[in-house]
Amino acid sequence: MAEFKLVIWRKYEELETLGYAVVLKDDEAVFKFNTIELPLFTIPLKPNTVCTNCIPVGTYRVTKIYSPTKGQCFQVHDVEGRTAILIHKGNFATGKKVDTQGCILPGKEFEDINNDGNLDVVRSTDTMNILLDILPNEFKLIAI
């Protein structure tokens, strides 16, 4: 059976965390995309706070689930001090409309789609559908 991993390299900005992700199947890249999350730190400097930060660097077990509010998505397990961390569709990590409370939002590319001066992810639904098609029911997430 093939081994799947999702690796996200992150760039920590003041108001959001931009990610560059790849799905690996037996260590071969099969799909590349971008992610957006909440920032690493809040002011005052407090990392790993519920609903205000991205998940910490680490390796996590992920399972495919159905969420009543998000539909088909993935749940990230064993994030220290956190629960209900998902990978789900959405575009915004900062600004007037925010689509995450600590979850990871996938998209095809970055663009400021609401003209607020911050990058967002676009084509999130398309990207999520591809991830749901290619990833198995359980896999590893490596967040760097």
- Residues counted in the chain: 144
Over its length of 144 residues, how does the chain's per-residue pLDDT go in tens digits? Answer: 899 999 999 999 989 999 999 999 999 999 999 999 999 876 555 556 556 789 999 999 999 999 999 999 999 999 988 889 999 999 999 988 899 988 999 999 999 999 999 999 999 999 999 999 999 999 999 999
Cis peptide before 56 (omega within 30 of 0): no
Domain boundaries, the chain: 4-143
